[in-house]
Amino acid sequence: MRYVRRGICGAALLCVAGSAAAQSSVTLYGVVDVFGQYLNNGGNASFSERSGGNTGSMFGLKGTEDLGGGLKAIFDLENGFTANNGSFFADSTAMFYRQSWVGLSNEKYGQLTFGRQYQPSFWIVYPADPFRADELLAPAASGVLTPDRNTLATQNLTGRTSNSIFYRSPNMGGVQLYAMYGLSATVTQPVPQTTGNMLDVAASYTGYGLYAGLGYQYMHPGTATYPGLPGPLNLLGTEHFTAALAYRIGIVNLQALYVYSKPKDAAPHSLAALAGADHPYSLASFGATIQATSVDTVEVAIQERNARGVHDNTPGFEIGYDHNLSKRTTVYMRAGYMKNNGSATMSWSGVTVTGQGTSQTLAVIGMTHRF
């Protein structure tokens, strides 16, 4: 009888454990992306191998636990790396540079999460960019991340924020609301920098083939240390206004973006004022994503980045082609051109221009595998 009771208890424990395991899950996922690049940088031609031209190379762990009553615990830890040499992407000190957050999700009330996360303004932009806001080769991403002397003290839309609290509403008839507050953070790469607190709010609508989004972000002042400057640069409090629009007509998805970044006035005799690095700038982009066949996609974008109050603007265009070999594997090509006018120094992310007013020509072929 003792052994029967033990057997019954053991079976009951196994059932409880099985039930608990059924209510939670952890998923390993990732992307490996490598491409070959030809670049003509102001007349200097080069060939290189890089990573993340279609989608950033990454691996991550995400999970959920059902807490009952429609409530779930959720988390996501996402690393970024460069597949061509195996190093960390962007910041060698950050294991989970792309995302690292935990929180709660409720099917009726939305999602509340804490940690390093994508900003509401990023989620607004993503559906309206033919190149999906890729950090390396999307012209729109390069336009806000480019190091330009005239806007160096104007803080950029970075896409992600550490030390943040993020609320995302449920889908309410196609409408979604987003709100984030981020606390001050300090990094050492790519340059030593301290950012102030940040507020980001946004709203989007999806329905009847239409997508529309609006975002507002305010970044409090900070500091950054750039090579060649006599001391730390005072980063100005900056407002970002974002608008995104897309409309699908058959196989064609028409897309448009507009970003305006407006810094507060630099204090007299501050480094930002003395260096003339306090100009606002705008970015306008128009493009399309064409689903040519079930496995072939064509992307097109034209855009202009314009620093206000100074002769500094960069028109450009990019075309892309993706061919899906399977649901997980894609080969792709990109080709683009940018013309810097005046003192502009824009190029694709990770490229340092040879001088002001130079043109940039890019051609790429690559492969992406998702797991």
Residues spanned by the domain of 31: 26-370
pLDDT of residue 284: 98
| Reduced 3-state DSSP string for 198-266 | EEEEEEEEEECCEEEEEEEEEECCEEECCCCCCCCEEEECEEEEEEEEEEEECCEEEEEEEEEEEECCC
In angstroms, rounded to a whole number, what is the distance separating the alpha carbons of residues 191 and 344?
21
CB 314 within 8 A of CB 336: no
Q: What 3-state class would DSSP assign to 358? A: coil
In this structure, are strands 175-182 and 222-224 parallel, antiparallel, or unpaired? unpaired
- State residue 146's pLDDT score: 86
**One pLDDT digit (tens) per residue for the chain, 371 residues:** 444 344 444 444 334 344 444 489 999 999 999 999 999 999 999 999 999 999 999 999 999 999 999 999 999 999 999 999 999 999 999 999 999 999 999 999 999 999 999 999 999 999 999 999 999 999 999 999 988 999 999 999 999 999 999 999 999 999 999 999 999 999 999 999 999 999 999 999 999 999 999 999 999 999 999 999 999 999 999 999 999 999 999 999 999 999 999 999 999 999 999 999 999 999 999 999 999 999 999 999 999 999 999 999 999 999 999 999 999 999 999 999 999 999 999 999 999 999 999 999 999 999 999 99
pLDDT of residue 140: 97
Please list, in sequence order, all residues whose beta carbon lies within 8 angstroms of the beta carbon of residue 292, skipping any fewer than 6 positions away. Answer: 251, 298
User: Per residue in 188-220, is it b (16+ CB within 10 Å) or e — as a string?
Assistant: eeeeebebbbbebbbbbebeeeebbbbbbbbbb
Confirm whether 56 is domain-assigned. yes
Classify residue 284: in a domain, yes or no. yes
pLDDT of residue 147: 86
User: Does 12 map to a domain?
Assistant: no
Determine the Cα–Cα distance for residues 103 and 176; give it in Å rounded to an integer: 18
Q: How far apart are CA 62 and CA 166, in angstroms?
A: 17
Residue 9 maps to a domain: no
pLDDT score of 23: 82
Say how far apart CA 147 and CA 353 lie, in whole Å: 10
**Structural domain total, the chain:** 1
Q: Cα-flanking dihedrals φ and ψ of residue 355, to 5°? A: 175, 175
Task: Break the chain down into helix, strand, coil percent, rounded to 5.
Answer: 10, 55, 35
Q: What is the CATH number of the domain that holds 170?
A: 2.40.160.10
The CA distance from 248 to 346, in Å, is: 31
Whether residue 153 is contained in a domain is answered as: yes
Q: Are 133 and 118 in contact (CB under 8 A)?
A: no
Helices (H), strands (E): how many in the chain?
Answer: 4, 23
CA–CA separation, 182 vs 53, rounded Å?
A: 29
